[in-house]
Every structure is written in C-alpha cells, then in structure tokens.
Structure 1
Amino acid sequence: MSATRDAVLDPSQISERLARELPAWHYEDGWIKRTFKTNSWKGTLMVINTVGHLAEAAWHHPDLTASYAWVEVRLTTHSAKGLTEKDMALARKIEEVVGWQPGLEGGALEGTPTDPRFAYIKYDK
C-alpha cells in the first residue's frame, strides 16, 4: 500500500478541498458525506447499487444510510482511522457516475425522460 494513499488528510484543508472539488459533499466527524435525493425507492436502490459497484471495484467501502427517497454516502478510510486520498477519489467517482446526465452532452444517449414516472434521481443542476 502506498503511504500517500493512506496518509490521513489535514482536517484544516478538507473543507477547502471539498468546496473546490466536491461542493455537494461536507466534512463531519472524520467523514465526508453526501446525500443524494431520489424520486422513489427504485431510484434509491439504483444509487445504492451504483455506489456499491464503484466501492467494490475500488476496494474501498462506504457507509450508506437510505430511506424511500434519499441515500446518504459516508466515506472514511477505516484502516487509516481518518480521511485519505482514497476517500476523495471515490467521492469524485461517485459524483461523476451518479450525477451523469447523458442528455446534457448532446450525444447519442438522450438521458431519462422528464416524465416523473421515469425519473429516479433529483439532480443538483
């Protein structure tokens, strides 16, 4: 394991980095946290499964709390007993994938319809 990946980040710089790199996330009690709002239980499960896949692929495991229309993701590196670059990298990937809106890219993928019957996540933008 790389010492850099596992070095605990300086708490005084974490909030500044989050504001710059991951503005929807916040730092609290040694964790970075983000709540994704969804339109239904189906959307909640889709977010949970997406985060689960990314975390498993990265071999880094978040804590999740969920209800009907939201999912809270909490990241810390348990083995380092604090926040590390691993947490920041996984948060960026989660943000990228869960927040992906292909319809805004203008390509062949049109994205989900605006019809609420098909909506599953409430995007920040």
Structure 2
Amino acid sequence: MTEQVKERTYTEEEIEERLKKELPHWYYEKGWIRRKYRTNSWKGTLMVINAVGHLAEAAWHHPDLTASYAWVEVRLVNHHAKGVTDKDFTLAKKIEEVIQWQPGKEEGPLEGTPDDPRFKYIKYD
C-alpha cells in the first residue's frame, strides 16, 4: 500500500487572495471555502445539488451541502489535509463553471431557458 502524502494547505490570507482572484463569488468562513447558489424553486435547488454531486463524485472530492427551498450552500475543505488545498479550489472552479453556465449568452444552437418564470430555475450572478 502506498503512503499518502499530505497536500499543501493554504493560510487564511492565501485563501482570501485566491478567492478574490479566481472565485469572486466564493468566500472563506470557519475553515471552509463557501458559495451560496440562489434558485427559483425546489426544482432548481435539486438540480444544483445533483450537478454538484455529479462533479464531486467524478472528482472523488466531496463537499458539504446545505439546502433550502430556494438556495444551496456548497462548502469545501480537504478533510484528509485538514485545510483548504488545490483540490478545493479546482472543484470550486468546476462547480462554478457548470452551475453558472448560460448557453443563451453564447453563440451556438443551445438557446438556454426561456425568459418565463415557469421555466426559470437558477438565479444567475
């Protein structure tokens, strides 16, 4: 069995600087990097949870989630390393990329959801 090498953890100041530069909608609090995604309904909340779950499982790095009717909070820390590592930042970036994707604002055949409250599910930044 191979010995696991402890990953580098970042200081609070380093975390704050990286978040400011790389993930401006995320913040650091009580040892975790965090982001709250606002949704329009329970359906949107479940869609965000499922998307985050898929990404986390594929990455084999699992966040803590808290959810309510119209929001999901994602919290990341590397439990093994006992701090925030590159794994946390990398997964946060992938989550941000997927959840905030708005195909209607890109060139191409995918038009995005109609501008109709019946079909809105996430409140984009």
TM-score (norm 1): 0.94
Kindly tell me the number of residue pairs found equivalent between the two proteins.
123
> 1:10 offset after TM fit, Å?
2.1
* Separation in 2, partners of 1:86, 1:71: 20
Within-5 A mapping of 1:34-113: 34-113=35-114
Aligned partner of 2:27 in structure 1 is 26
> 1:3 offset after TM fit, Å?
4.8
- Give the SS at the match of 2:118: coil
- Give the SS at the match of 2:35: strand
Give RMSD over aligned pairs: 1.4
- Give the SS at the match of 2:80: helix
- Give the SS at the match of 1:18: helix
* Separation in 2, partners of 1:123, 1:35: 11
Runs of 4+ in 1 over 2 A off after TM superposition: 1-4
> 1:9 offset after TM fit, Å?
1.2
Name stretches of at least 5 consecutive residues in structure 2 with no aligned partner.
none
Considering fraction of residues, name the structure with more helix: 1
Name stretches of at least 5 consecutive residues in structure 1 with no aligned partner.
none
* Separation in 2, partners of 1:2, 1:21: 28
TM-score (norm 2): 0.94
